[in-house]
Amino acid sequence: MIRQELEGNDVDALISVDRYGIDECLASGALGAVFRGYDPVLHRPVAIKILRSELARDGGAEGLHERFKRRARAAGRLFHPNIPTTFDFGEDNGIPFAVMEYVDGSPLDRLLKIAGPFAPQRAVAILLQVLDALKYSYENRVIHLDLKPSIVLVLGNNQVKVADFGIALVNASEPTRISEALPTTSSVAPEQLMGAPVDHWTDLFSAGALLFQMLTCTRPFRGGSVAETLTQMENRGPENVCALNPEVPRALRSVIEKALAYDPGQRFATAGAFSYAVSEAVSLGDGTGIVMRSLASQTASQEHSAAENKNRWDPEILHRVEADLATHIGPVAAIAVKRAAKQANDLIALYEELSVYVRNDKERGEFLASERRVTTARPRRLAFPHPDNGASDSIVQRSRPLDPPDLAVLNIIEARLAKYLGPIAQPLLQQRLQNFQGFSDLCRSLADHISDESERAAFLDLALT
């Protein structure tokens, strides 16, 4: 049984938890501890995480119990080679615990302290496994929100396990707020620092910070306060990774800067896109690397094909929606609108998805009513509807396939697109060429992937002249 007198740092006083024997304390933090234990029924080692007893019994215990249980349930839904399996959850003497796969590996932060900065090939090989775990978790509606070197475990065969998955989304459009995430790392996304809604784009920012730390043994932003860090994120961007580690190729620096963009809309849209970009930037030079690159390429291709089926919003409409939402939640409306626009197919759906950010019932009704005002000013549907969304046959069959531009022209377009999108420009261009309908149509479809309006206009000015 968990001893009643277990308080403070006295974590070594444990003998057993429920049926599980305790061998040693592996890690201890402000909220709990992780022990190496033993399952006497299945005769195997396990890892046991428990909430500190003083926290489990204080005034806020109910909320902590619920959060602990929610994290255990979320992690229990995940069965992936790069994620430790959760076996059991329960309470012993009023204190919740979770039983997980025991991973005989070294935390990434400890390896970095011993070995110093990693070579780009090793850092990328680790990151690709982390991103594969994230991609799988998003498919199961689970986000991490506390990705950091100490919870990335590296085994002797260089396999990676990402621990502490813990936030489950009830549905894909439901945002998770900072109060539910409790991040402990200093390299978190700006929306986390501001207490704004967070989601998988937040995880991908932390993955970019993780890559930066593997390459430099330092953080990408080193502000002395939250306000100073946010200013660096918005105005300066991350430290120059190539200056801190001359082995890092410039292509990888571009990938990192995109991953760590202040605006979520300018980051990689998916874990697969991030994987593809990073594997293109650094050659791993072994069989594993080839397989990783092939999988990342296939994933990115599938995701871009899926993106083709989404509508493209008129920037003026989004500006009006953002203004409506900002009257209720302030500047973070810009972030919320960019995310919701990726999911919603029409104006009503967009307002409904965004309404979850407005907590007051009366104000939420006012915000939803403002949709009608925008509808009367602009068409409800988007500027360029996809044929499957009700377009006429004349649009579907508007022209027969045309011959694409010559290679020299395509190389110029790719170079100009890469200025804004980085390494993903090449596969994106190749994908668009599969349904080539004219040079102007090609340039405009590519421009749709540039989130910043001024940058999009600059690309079109160059591409169409």
Euclidean distance between CA atoms 181 and 198, whole angstroms: 9
Measure CA 256 to chain center. Answer: 14
* Residue 344, SS3 per DSSP: coil
Where would I find the beta strands (DSSP E) of 144-213?
152-154, 160-162, 167-168
Euclidean distance between CA atoms 27 and 35, whole angstroms: 7
Euclidean distance between CA atoms 33 and 2, whole angstroms: 13
Sole residue written with tokens 């395509």: 410
Euclidean distance between CA atoms 402 and 422, whole angstroms: 27
43 contact partners, CB below 8 Å, separation of at least 6: none
Euclidean distance between CA atoms 293 and 277, whole angstroms: 9
Sole residue written with tokens 């999108």: 421
Tell me the one-letter amino acid at 438: G
Euclidean distance between CA atoms 462 and 93, whole angstroms: 68
Residue 321: both structure tokens together: 């929606």
Euclidean distance between CA atoms 354 and 325, whole angstroms: 8
Residue 286 is among the residues annotated as catalytic for this protein: no
Tell me the one-letter amino acid at 353: E
Measure CA 445 to chain center. Answer: 25
Alpha helices in 195-332 (DSSP H): 200-216, 226-235, 241-244, 250-259, 271-281, 287-308, 315-329
Measure CA 441 to chain center. Answer: 31
* Residue 23 buriedness (CB in 10 A; 0-12 / 13-18 / 19+): middle
- Cα-Cα-Cα-Cα dihedral sign, residues 249, 252, 254, 257: negative
Pairing of strands 152-154, 106-107: antiparallel
Closest CA to 47 of 7, 87, 15: 87
- Residue in 92, 132, 146, 203 annotated catalytic: 146
* Residue 247, SS3 per DSSP: coil
CB-CB neighbours of 375 under 10 Å: 15
Residues noted as catalytic: 146
